[in-house]
Structure 1
Amino acid sequence: MLELKNVSKSFNGKMIINKLNLKIEDGKILTIVGPSGAGKTTLLRCISGLEKIDSGQFLLDGQQFDPFESRDNESVIGVVFQDFQLFPNLSVIDNITLAPINVLNQSETQAKKAVGEIIDRLGLEEIINQYPYQLSGGQKQRVAIARALAMNPSILCYDEPTSALDPELRNEVSKLILDLKENGITQVVITHDIEFANKIADQTLTVKPVK
C-alpha cells in the first residue's frame, strides 16, 4: 500500500497540493480527476518521483519512502506519459528493453526474454520491429505501457492515457488497465474523462484548485 501523509507542493509561491492525505491499496485502481490547473499532473509527478514534495511523507507498505530520492524508484513506480515519450530512433522492442538493460543491468538476451510475456499480453508481437512513426496512437499507448511494465513496478501511473484516442481505443485502454488489475498491479490514473474514470476506478480522488 502506498500512503501519502500531509503532502504539500507549491510552485513560485502558489500552493498546488495542500496537506493531502491519501491511501492507495495494493492491486487497486485510483483515478484522479478534476479541472485543468487543479494539480492532477503535479500530484502524479510527485507520486512518481519526478517532482520533490515540499513537505509531508510517503509510506510504502508501512515504511517511509521518498520517490524523488529513491535510486530504485524506476522499479517501484512506473509512468506512462501522455505523449508516450517513445524514442523515435529505436524499434518497439528496443524501446521496451532499454531501461532493463541500462538500469537493471540485464543483457539484451535477458531483457528480451523477460519482456516476452508482456509483449504477448499486450498484443505487440507483430510490431516489435517497427518504429514509433509507423504506429497508431493505440499501438504507441500499448508500447508505452509495456516499457513501464518491463521494469516490474509495484505501482503504474498514467497521465491522461485516453486524451488522444478515439472512443474505440479508449475502451481498449480501459480493458487493458482492468486486465493489469487482475494481475495485481496497483494503478494511478490521471484523467479528465469522467466516464472512463468511472469504468475503471476502485476509488476516485477529485482535486480542486487550492485557494
Structure 2
Amino acid sequence: MLEVKNLKKSFGNRVILDDVNLTVKDDEILCIVGPSGAGKTTLLRCITGLDTPDSGEFLMDGKPFDPQGTGASDRVIGVVFQDFNLFPNLSVMENITLAPTMVLKQPKNEAVKKAQELLAELGLSTKGNLYPWQLSGGQKQRVAIARALAMKPKILCYDEPTSALDPNLRQDVANIILSLKKGGVTQLVVTHDLDFAEEIADDLLKVNPLDQGQD
C-alpha cells in the first residue's frame, strides 16, 4: 500500500500542491482526476521521483521510502509516460530489457524471458524485434507498460494514458489496466477523463486548481 502524507510543492511563489494526502491500496486502482492546472501531473511527478516536493512523506507498506532514491527499497514505483518515452534506437526487446539488466543486474537470458512473457500478456508476442517507429500508438503504450513492469514495481503509475491515443483506443486502455489489476498489479492513474476514471477506478481523488496553481 502506498501512502502520501502532507505533500507540498511550490514553483516560486505559486503553490501547486498544498498538504495533499492519498492512499493506493494493494491490488486496486486509484485515479487522480482534475482539469488542466489542478496539479495532478506535478503530484505524479513527485510520487515517481521526477520532481522534488517541498515537504511530505512517502510510505510503502508502512515504511518510508524516497522516490528519488537509488536503493533497492526505493525502487518501488513504475511509470508509463504520456508520450511513452521509448528509446527510438532500440528494439522493443531492448527497450524492455535495458533497465533490468543494467539496474537490477538481471542476467540477459532472464530479462529476455520475462520480456517475452510480458509481451505475450500484452498481445505483442511478434513485436520484440521491431523499433518504436514501426509501432502504432497503442502498441507503443503497451511496450511502455511492459518496460515498466519488467522492473517489478509495487505501484504502476500512468500519466494521462488516453490522451496520446486515438479516441477509439480508450476502451483498449481500460481493458489493459483492468486486466493488470486482475493479475495483482496496483495502479495509480492521472487523467482528465472522468468517465474513463469511473470505469476503471476503485478509488477517485478529484483535485481542483489552486488560485495560483498550474499543472
Shorter-chain-normalised TM-score: which range? over 0.9
- Structure 2: where are the runs of 5+ without partners? none
Query: C-alpha displacement at 1:9, in angstroms?
Result: 0.8
Q: In the alignment, which residue of structure 1 is the partner of 2:64? A: 64
Per-residue Cα deviation, 1:133-159 (whole angstroms, up to 9, x for no partner): 110000001000000000011000000
Q: In the alignment, which residue of structure 1 is the partner of 2:127? A: 127
Q: Is residue 122–residue 142 contact of structure 2 (8 Å, CA) maintained in 1?
A: yes
The one-letter code of the counterpart of 1:39 is G
Q: Is residue 31–residue 201 contact of structure 1 (8 Å, CA) maintained in 2?
A: yes
Q: In the alignment, which residue of structure 2 is the partner of 1:197? A: 197
Query: C-alpha displacement at 1:25, in angstroms?
Result: 0.6
Paired positions, count: 211
For 1:97-116, what aligned pairs fall within 5 Å after superposition?
Answer: 97-116=97-116
Deviates more, 1:44-53 or 1:150-159: 44-53
CA RMSD of superposed structures (Å): 1.3
**Separation (CA, whole Å) in 1 of partners of 2:3 and 2:130:** 39
The one-letter code of the counterpart of 2:43 is L
Deviates more, 1:80-89 or 1:12-21: 12-21
Q: Secondary structure at the match of 1:99?
A: helix
Q: In the alignment, which residue of structure 2 is the partner of 1:141? A: 141
Query: C-alpha displacement at 1:70, in angstroms?
Result: 4.5
TM-score, L = length of structure 1? 0.96
Q: In the alignment, which residue of structure 2 is the partner of 1:55? A: 55
Per-residue Cα deviation, 1:36-81 (whole angstroms, up to 9, x for no partner): 1111110001111111111121111111122123433774100000
**Separation (CA, whole Å) in 2 of partners of 1:170 and 1:180:** 16
The one-letter code of the counterpart of 1:3 is E
Q: Secondary structure at the match of 1:3?
A: strand
For 1:1-211, what aligned pairs fall within 5 Å after superposition?
Answer: 1-72=1-72, 75-211=75-211
**Separation (CA, whole Å) in 1 of partners of 2:62 and 2:108:** 35
**Separation (CA, whole Å) in 1 of partners of 2:166 and 2:156:** 23
**Separation (CA, whole Å) in 2 of partners of 1:165 and 1:59:** 33
**Separation (CA, whole Å) in 2 of partners of 1:9 and 1:23:** 18
The one-letter code of the counterpart of 1:158 is Y
**Separation (CA, whole Å) in 2 of partners of 1:183 and 1:194:** 24
Q: Secondary structure at the match of 1:199?
A: helix
**Separation (CA, whole Å) in 1 of partners of 2:65 and 2:86:** 28
TM-score, L = length of structure 2? 0.94
